[in-house]
Amino acid sequence: MDWIAIVKMCAMFAIGGLLIYLAIKKDMEPALLLPMGFGAILVNLPNSGVLTQGPEVTGLAHESTGIIEWMFHVGIEASEALPLLLFIGIGAMIDFGPLLSNPKMFLFGGAAQFGIFAAIIIAVLMGFDLKDAASIGIIGAADGPTSILVSQVLKSPYFPAITVAAYSYMALVPIIQPFAIRLVTTKKERQIRMPYNPKSVSKTTRILFPVIVTIIAGFVAPMSVALVGFLMFGNLLRECGVLGRLSDTAQNVLANLVTLLLGITISFSMTADHFLRIETLFILLLGLVAFVFDTIGGVLFAKLLNLFLKNKVNPMIGGAGISAFPMSARVVQKMALKEDPTNHLLMHAVGANVAGQIASVLAGGVILGLVPQLIK
Amino acid sequence: MNMQLFHGINTNDLMNALIILGKGMASILGVLILIAIIVAILTKVTNRKTEETHKE
């Protein structure tokens, strides 16, 4: 090994150690960052057995298949099976009730995807080609599995940096969002009260909802069917009322198992050659830009609606329209209480937040549909 | 990747990025508005049916 390779290896060990530290000490998305951090160490060891090695390394007549490389090819590269399976678990965890009882909140989920597109434009201005820019922009979906899936389908070489950024910024939502919201709101706007009078949601509506969403999304953005379909399949398991055991399995066993495997599988691409590039820093910066513009987009949209509404919306609710659930809703509730200790916005914010979960997978599907058409 | 920002902008990619912004936001908002309308109607219809059943 030459000294440059040794320095690179040590740098990757340090990055792996940093991810493990952030996961354990700072509680930043530990379920993903810890396996990724440990995986980064595993794949950067010289002639690591977790990667496929040729006869010159193994000393055998044939190559030896590495487990992490195999899991990556089968679970992510070949079919995107791992992120998609995770969506079944996520769908089974989500209660769309607060959104269904106040369908207006759907709009904020859509508006808060603006950061994705803003980041794509800025990435293009910085010199990334459209395919990579779109993969980077999707960090703004604030949805790890969607980021993994889109960057993998578009075959972006920046896949590992995108994944790290997506999960890191999700954990930093309580820091990023208050800053972005304060940037575009006044104290008076943050104090706007919103009475909560939820309509009751029938079981029929709850059952039909995942089916309707899948069909509409499928017609408008066919590439989103895998993402939306698996998310909604999980939700149907939850709401149908006759598959309690399957719903429990999806929410707990399946989601935990896939998360465990996903983190360590992603680390396959965290080899020094892939990760130690100047572009990694740009991607981390663009991820931050995407999250800030998501929040600003949602807040400004709420302010725009207020021009026409009799009952004003607290613009902070717009910022909760990102997919980071339930962090974003909690951030808005906390900020509202800080401005006025009697102003409770949690249920409105939760509605916008779950709308963001649907909107983010839709955004992923829309980008997967548009980008290949445009680069033909 | 080369730093186009400092050496000139790739206008083709920029145009495409703007098209993605326009079409993307329109598609997402369009789908969500459609779903919101259907959900609102569905909620109204099913709630009315429930009320009628209770009255009976």
- pLDDT tens track for A287-313: 999 999 999 999 999 999 999 988 899
Identify residue A237 by its one-letter amino acid code. Answer: L
CA dihedral A169, A86, B36, A355 (to 10 degrees): -20
Asked if A107's CB is within 8 angstroms of B36's CB, the reply is yes
**How many alpha carbons fall within 13 Å on the CB side of residue A322?**
38
- CB < 8 Å from B in window 164-203 of A: 199-202
Task: Say which of B3, B4, B24 has its CB closest to residue A370.
Answer: B24
B41 to chain A, any CB pair closer than 8 A? The answer is no
Would you state the pLDDT for residue A61? 73
A208 to chain B, any CB pair closer than 8 A? The answer is yes
Sign of torsion, CA B26 B27 B29 B33?
Answer: positive
**Residue appearing with tokens 């990025």:** B17
Residue A124: partners with Cβ closer than 8 Å, 6 or more residues away: A130, A133, B4, B9, B10, B13, B14, B16, B17
**Residue appearing with tokens 């429930």:** B50
**Contact between residue B38 and residue A212 where contact means Cβ atoms under 8 Å apart:** yes
**Residue appearing with tokens 């709009």:** A107
B34 to chain A, any CB pair closer than 8 A? The answer is yes
Asked if A113's CB is within 8 angstroms of B36's CB, the reply is no
Asked if B39's CB is within 8 angstroms of A109's CB, the reply is no
- CB < 8 Å from B in window 62-121 of A: 100-101, 103-104, 106-107, 109-111, 113-114, 116-118, 120-121
ipTM metric: 0.84
- Rounded Cα distance, A131 and A112, in Å: 22
Q: Over the range A104-117, which residues count as b (16 or more CB within 10 Å of their CB) and which as e? A: bbbbbbbbbbbbbb
Would you state the pLDDT for residue A143? 85
What is the CA A133 to chain-centroid distance, rounded?
16
3-class secondary structure, A155: coil
Would you state the pLDDT for residue B6? 46
**Contact between residue A293 and residue A140 where contact means Cβ atoms under 8 Å apart:** yes
| Chain B residues inside the 8 Å CB shell of A116 | 24
Locate all alpha helices (DSSP H) within chain B, ordered by sequence: 4-7, 11-55
Q: What pTM value is reported for the model?
A: 0.86
3-class secondary structure, A64: strand
Residue A235: partners with Cβ closer than 8 Å, 6 or more residues away: A91, A92, A94, A96, A209, A210
B19 to chain A, any CB pair closer than 8 A? The answer is yes
CA-angle at A105, arms to A100 and A109, nearest 5°: 115
Which regions in chain B score pLDDT beneath 50? 2-3, 6
- pLDDT tens track for A175-212: 899 999 999 999 999 999 998 887 788 899 999 999 99
B39 to chain A, any CB pair closer than 8 A? The answer is yes
Q: Select from A102, A117, A199, A213 the residue whose CB has the most chain B CBs within 10 Å, as the one to mutate to test that interface.
A: A117
Asked if B27's CB is within 8 angstroms of A127's CB, the reply is no
- Rounded Cα distance, B18 and A294, in Å: 16
Asked if A100's CB is within 8 angstroms of B43's CB, the reply is yes
**Residue appearing with tokens 């509409």:** A216
**Contact between residue A263 and residue A287 where contact means Cβ atoms under 8 Å apart:** no
- pLDDT tens track for A124-147: 999 899 999 999 999 998 888 899
B51 to chain A, any CB pair closer than 8 A? The answer is no
Q: First and final CA of chain A: distance in angstroms?
A: 42
Would you state the pLDDT for residue B8? 60
| Chain A residues inside the 8 Å CB shell of B42 | 204-205, 208-209, 212
Which regions in chain A score pLDDT beneath 50? none
Would you state the pLDDT for residue A269? 82
Q: Select from A101, A114, A130, A357 the residue whose CB has the most chain B CBs within 10 Å, as the one to mutate to test that interface.
A: A130
Sign of torsion, CA A325 A331 A334 A340?
Answer: negative
| Chain A residues inside the 8 Å CB shell of B1 | 126-129, 132, 279
Ramachandran assignment for A45, one of left (phi > 0), alpha (psi -120 to 50 degrees), beta (any other): beta
Identify residue B42 by its one-letter amino acid code. Answer: L
